[in-house]
Structure 1
């Protein structure tokens, strides 16, 4: 045990004296927590700017405009008279939608004709484009119902019957998780843990790779009496403890500071956090053992960590991926951690539903060790990388 503690003490000293390592392990986690917590602090998009063109200028057209402006998602920022100007503002990104009410809108409605309100929006930006379309559809649906029911009342139909005539099939939606459509609950959960994983992988590669870059592998082997395990435990344990503490702060920013829903098991979330840290460290060591240089190890590690977001299901659902990509997504610890996190925080699944995910995370901690042990041992015996770049 003495060699391990001696190496651990040495590593703590290196952490406090190395500016690069200190920034990686200590500064960056809290900067990322602060950044993403501030970026999506509101959680729900509000007051998206849109423009309107009212060619009718009637009581009903003004009512349509006022109802659009009254929705929490939309804010009428421009009142225009020119269609080309509105389309230009959409292309420039100054507005997210352009609503045009045609001439004789009120007169055609009173004569029983079907009228059209033109809605143009930019769906290249999926979130605001989707919200604009949803809010517009809701307002137009409400106004259409009001007009229809009013006509039915004039004919002597009861209000209840008029409502049934307009919508014979009613909708009853039950949102099982995130009923507030708070994007912070979903996106921040992923982004905070995603950057946390990147920091762990790169810190692990840096703390081991710097010794090999400066030909100190043999020195560590002498301290550990020629054994790899005291080196691994001594160098990695201080960071494991530190990152667990940082992870608890990450959870605090989510569940206390930002009031994320927590409907499942706290123990399962803590287990998931520990397994994410250990598996990320093990993958960092795997990339180190496969690399010919310090720079190559950092490149492979950062690339692996970066693409893990695409395979986690945050940006695109895993079940819709091609079969090959579905299998590839399973090698990323972040994929399983995020699944476990969502199950236990927002969806409130019983813990036994997450047992499979926990077991997979455990395997992703063990399998890299099997692959890197011999290669890393040879690397430390040599004392340096094949290439000093």
Structure 2
């Protein structure tokens, strides 16, 4: 029996006998898939409660309220008697905005006067406040355009010309990140992949670390006839295959069950997924080689995986970071896999443009293991970590 096969069978047996390894490799990945696919299932915030004070009670003011109610982002929940009671609703968190329609609203509009509709919202709640403000601007802009165009038509101007007169300049927007403006599409893609690679690196660190913690390095080296490569292949390959299966299920949960948009190469994404797994396993081995104890290795491995989220461009674009941080972001496998995943799913880029990410992932599979090879070999010859804690 080849040493690597013997070690692989031993590793599979340990997977089911070790509660911690089983939790890292089996339980937590599926819990995270279920959790994140449920958390942002709607994708976009809807029916944000607002309050309206109608001081005019005219047909036009009722039309404004009807238009606001028809907006999918807003839900008119309160009609306070005065501004003080409305502001109290905002402070209590019962509503995200207070809209006040002034007296003589209809009369002043018919006289051709400019009328102000007051919108008060809580900007401390950046997401909810921003969506309320955006929806309010959209509704009021549409109503204003209708009034202006109708006024011009009464003067004998054609509808098409009235539209041009009202808005001589138009915009052609191209959203580069999160083009569907759907939080589920964008955030779930990142969070699911980030937690997936966290479990990969922790499982790898744990399965190697436990042997070295309990002074079993010599035994493994003896089984492998002194060949470190046989140990690595035997211990890593079962988890590589398992996490590849988990990763495919993760992708299916997004792009099949939840019907996330996908416009690129499926093969390219699967290759990137495999390289993400191997790269994180390679970094786990480097961390084990450079640390002095099992606890230290797990701490650094979890920190490395968690910090990769900040350097991936999800929370802050990479091109906006200082140059040093931009270069530092390139050492994290997750940065390149996330870029590949977005390019091939939401952006629909040809696979040619993702080759750079593939090449860098290949390099990140090789370099960490190469850097830690001799120290890792010495660690297995010694049989244990420097410290036992």
Please, what TM-score do these two structures have when normalized by structure 2?
0.95
Q: Which sections of structure 2, spanning at least 5 residues, go unmatched? A: none
Q: How does 1:125-140 map to 2 (within 5 A)?
A: 125-140=125-140
Superposed displacement of residue 55, structure 1: 2.3
SS at match of 1:262: coil
Q: How does 1:143-162 map to 2 (within 5 A)?
A: 143-162=143-162
Q: How does 1:75-114 map to 2 (within 5 A)?
A: 75-114=75-114
Q: Which residue of 2 aligns with 1:330?
A: 330
User: Structure 1 386/84 Cα, relative in aligned 2: closer, same or farther at 3 Å?
Assistant: farther
Superposed displacement of residue 105, structure 1: 2.1
Between stretches 132-141 and 49-58, larger displacement belongs to 49-58
Q: Which residue of 2 aligns with 1:383?
A: 383
Q: Which sections of structure 1, spanning at least 5 residues, go unmatched? A: none
SS at match of 1:49: strand
In structure 2, how many angstroms separate the alpha carbons of the residues matched to 1:193 and 1:316? 17
The alignment of Structure 1 onto Structure 2 pairs a total of residues equal to 389
In structure 2, how many angstroms separate the alpha carbons of the residues matched to 1:45 and 1:323? 35
Contact kept? 2:282, 2:368, Cα under 8 Å? yes
In structure 2, how many angstroms separate the alpha carbons of the residues matched to 1:325 and 1:30? 32
Q: How does 1:197-276 map to 2 (within 5 A)?
A: 197-276=197-276
Superposed displacement of residue 270, structure 1: 0.8
* Alpha-carbon RMSD: 1.8
Q: Which residue of 2 aligns with 1:36?
A: 36
Superposed displacement of residue 320, structure 1: 1.0
Between stretches 74-83 and 230-239, larger displacement belongs to 74-83
User: Structure 1 180/368 Cα, relative in aligned 2: closer, same or farther at 3 Å?
Assistant: closer
Q: Which residue of 1 aligns with 2:359?
A: 359
Provide Cα deviations, 1:62-106, integer angstroms capped at 9, x if missing partner: 211110110111111222133344334334433222212222222
Superposed displacement of residue 175, structure 1: 6.1
In structure 2, how many angstroms separate the alpha carbons of the residues matched to 1:251 and 1:3? 34
Please, what TM-score do these two structures have when normalized by structure 1?
0.95
Contact kept? 2:121, 2:129, Cα under 8 Å? yes
In structure 1, how many angstroms separate the alpha carbons of the residues matched to 2:367 and 2:110? 73
Provide Cα deviations, 1:161-206, integer angstroms capped at 9, x if missing partner: 2222212223445668866432221111111111101010111111
SS at match of 2:79: strand
User: Structure 1 175/295 Cα, relative in aligned 2: closer, same or farther at 3 Å?
Assistant: closer
Contact kept? 2:179, 2:346, Cα under 8 Å? no
